[in-house]
Chain A
């Protein structure tokens, strides 16, 4: 892993860590009770109230900490829903016969074109606004994006000769999926999921902003932004605090995703900048040196890789940049 990449990971983990620490803190200690309005309306930052109070006199820092729980809960929940449904559907579509695959592609395109907010409104209309509903709506919208990505990647991997070779050797489909297909699509899918996690936090914020997400009195960051809107000139901290928290979490998750991909992908892990490292042929054999499969997660990889050879040998990756940009939609 190159220096720049490990910097991404460290910075990303730091940013996510700050938010996560705040969330953990909120379970053991809060500066004020969430419904404590003793501080007076729109108190400026400083003094007893670190970030001041909102227009009802509630402590903003307390709300920010509680909002962190909702933000992280949404990110994890939506990724769990979207990842599980999306990868499963994508795998099935990748393996399906042609007409079924075509049908799946059309359904996915419609789902992706369908605005997340509209989908959320439909679900909310049926079940009432709650955090669970918001997570479900965001997760389903995410599943469509993930499924389409998975489908393309699976098709790419299935076209490779090593799949044919495995079939010639009589290896069963489930085993091929486990040992070849999933590992090869994992780096790209995981990064996309992390990207989607950042978008999910934003989507929850906008749903809450519209009153479709977390119902009051729970303070989600989106709801805090919404409530600070009218008084943004008088008390800017009310909008700045949740806004900055959102940016920190989203950027942190994306940087972490970037760094994690490089850890999970040996074709990148072995990559070096100019100079490289000395050939490790003389490296003293470790305990399991000759054991096939022992090099899996081991730290030292033999032989410095030629960067020029990395590209085409890597796991399935999208060649079409336009597709990549549409995947950013949540």
Chain B
């Protein structure tokens, strides 16, 4: 049985307009899936619906089962089933709380750690996201960290409780390109090490291709194409997928030209 199975998910606003419609996909334990689409295509709403955390005024119908729990009708008590890494590391961390305390919060609650064991878990979580000088980082407030460091802290927070599914919602979009590559490698390594399933949400095809195998292309709240990412790139069927691939290609070609000049 799949870890996450979404079947016929629709998200409607108060006026009844469908923002997401008839979205179905599955993520098996340890699998890596992608949701690709432009902004406003319903990627993030789908993720929030999966977590049972739609903003007020939006309602979900269909079926979402996460680790056996029905996330539409009884969206409570998931705890360690799934966690999220957000796009903007600035707002993902509480500005008035040290990084260490923020990582400690879920660890204390979900794994029942206290005292020395808790400190040790925070330290190892920071080490796991390749942050050196962990004691200093743990004592720092978010504004004292760089963007890349903040995103690493956010990832440490998300994976410290060993979730079975990690949802990464455009985790590299707000970062510059070199940091982007490091964060992608980091996510890649972490999900491989712990066998965590990954649901990766992005608008960036080349970024997606680095970390995921199977992907779903969303447009206007509907899945227009699904399949292994390599075959999507090699032979896109839907016109929209083709535009995505073409624009990525054009970008590459432009890079190449400037490189030669």
Q: Are A169 and B105 in contact, with the CB atoms below 8 A? A: yes
List residues of chain A with CB within 8 A of the CB of B73: none
Closest-CB distance, A260 to chain B (whole angstroms): 15
List residues of chain A with CB within 8 A of the CB of B123: 290
Which A residues have a C-beta under 8 Å from some C-beta of B? 97-98, 160-162, 164-171, 179-180, 183-184, 265-267, 270, 281, 285, 289-296, 301-303, 305, 309-310, 312-315
Asked if B142 is at the interface (CB within 8 A of a chain A CB), the reply is: yes
Among A160, A180, A294, A313, find the residue whose CB has the most chain B CB atoms closer than 10 A: A313
List residues of chain B with CB within 8 A of the CB of A312: 90
List residues of chain A with CB within 8 A of the CB of B109: 169-171
Stretch of B31-39, B76-84, B197-205, B239-247 lying at the A interface: B76-84
Q: Mark B95-126, 1 if CB is under 8 A from A, else 0.
A: 11110111111100110000000110011000
Residue from the list B92, B101, B122, B141 in contact with A267, Cβ < 8 A: B141
Cβ-closest chain A residue relative to B118 = A292
Q: A160-B91, A303-B140 are in contact. Are A169 and B101 (CB under 8 A)?
A: no
Q: Are B98 and A168 in contact, with the CB atoms below 8 A? A: no
Query: Majority SS of interface residues in chain B?
Result: helix
Per the bound structure, the CA–CA distance linking A107 and B88 in Å amounts to 35
Per the bound structure, the CA–CA distance linking A219 and B140 in Å amounts to 52
Interface Cβ pair total, 8 Å cutoff: 128
Asked if B185 is at the interface (CB within 8 A of a chain A CB), the reply is: no
Q: Are A289 and B95 in contact, with the CB atoms below 8 A? A: no
List residues of chain B with CB within 8 A of the CB of A168: 51, 53, 78, 82-84
Q: Are B119 and A292 in contact, with the CB atoms below 8 A? A: yes
Q: A292-B103, A295-B139 are in contact. Are A165 and B86 (CB under 8 A)?
A: yes
Asked if B133 is at the interface (CB within 8 A of a chain A CB), the reply is: yes
Closest-CB distance, A266 to chain B (whole angstroms): 5
Cβ-closest chain B residue relative to A170 = B79
List residues of chain B with CB within 8 A of the CB of A161: 86, 88, 91-92
Per the bound structure, the CA–CA distance linking A267 and B144 in Å amounts to 8
List residues of chain A with CB within 8 A of the CB of B158: 165
Q: Are A162 and B84 in contact, with the CB atoms below 8 A? A: no
Per the bound structure, the CA–CA distance linking A270 and B94 in Å amounts to 16
Q: Are A314 and B93 in contact, with the CB atoms below 8 A? A: no
Q: Are B144 and A305 in contact, with the CB atoms below 8 A? A: yes
Residue from the list A281, A285, A302, A314 in contact with B143, Cβ < 8 A: A314
Asked if B136 is at the interface (CB within 8 A of a chain A CB), the reply is: yes
Among B79, B102, B105, B154, find the residue whose CB has the most chain A CB atoms closer than 10 A: B105
Asked if B13 is at the interface (CB within 8 A of a chain A CB), the reply is: no
Per the bound structure, the CA–CA distance linking A312 and B97 in Å amounts to 15
Asked if B157 is at the interface (CB within 8 A of a chain A CB), the reply is: yes
List residues of chain B with CB within 8 A of the CB of A265: 96
Residue from the list B57, B96, B97, B122 in contact with A98, Cβ < 8 A: B57
| Sample of 5 more A-B contacts, CB < 8 Å, known A295-B139, A314-B95 | A165-B86, A165-B92, A165-B158, A270-B143, A292-B101
Among A293, A303, A305, A315, find the residue whose CB has the most chain B CB atoms closer than 10 A: A293
List residues of chain A with CB within 8 A of the CB of B83: 165, 168-169
Q: Are A309 and B143 in contact, with the CB atoms below 8 A? A: yes
Closest-CB distance, B56 to chain A (whole angstroms): 7
Q: Mark B146-163, 1 if CB is under 8 A from A, else 0.
A: 000000001001100100
Per the bound structure, the CA–CA distance linking A257 and B15 in Å amounts to 45
List residues of chain A with CB within 8 A of the CB of B104: 292-293
Asked if B135 is at the interface (CB within 8 A of a chain A CB), the reply is: yes
List residues of chain B with CB within 8 A of the CB of A98: 56-57
Asked if B138 is at the interface (CB within 8 A of a chain A CB), the reply is: yes
Cβ-closest chain A residue relative to B76 = A170
Q: Are B53 and A167 in contact, with the CB atoms below 8 A? A: yes
Among A164, A168, A289, find the residue whose CB has the most chain B CB atoms closer than 10 A: A168
Closest-CB distance, B122 to chain A (whole angstroms): 5
Q: Are B144 and A289 in contact, with the CB atoms below 8 A? A: no
List residues of chain A with CB within 8 A of the CB of B122: 292
List residues of chain A with CB within 8 A of the CB of B79: 169-170
Per the bound structure, the CA–CA distance linking A168 and B77 in Å amounts to 9
Closest-CB distance, B58 to chain A (whole angstroms): 12
List residues of chain B with CB within 8 A of the CB of A180: 94, 97
Q: Are B144 and A302 in contact, with the CB atoms below 8 A? A: yes
Cβ-closest chain A residue relative to B104 = A292
Per the bound structure, the CA–CA distance linking A295 and B161 in Å amounts to 23
Q: Are A184 and B96 in contact, with the CB atoms below 8 A? A: yes
- Can you sample 17 A-B contacts with CB below 8 Å? A160-B91, A165-B92, A165-B154, A168-B83, A168-B84, A170-B77, A170-B110, A265-B96, A290-B123, A292-B101, A295-B100, A301-B139, A302-B140, A302-B144, A303-B140, A310-B143, A312-B90
The 3 closest A-B pairs by CB, nearest first: A292-B100, A169-B106, A295-B139
Q: A168-B83, A169-B79, A171-B109 are in contact. Are A295 and B98 (CB under 8 A)?
A: yes
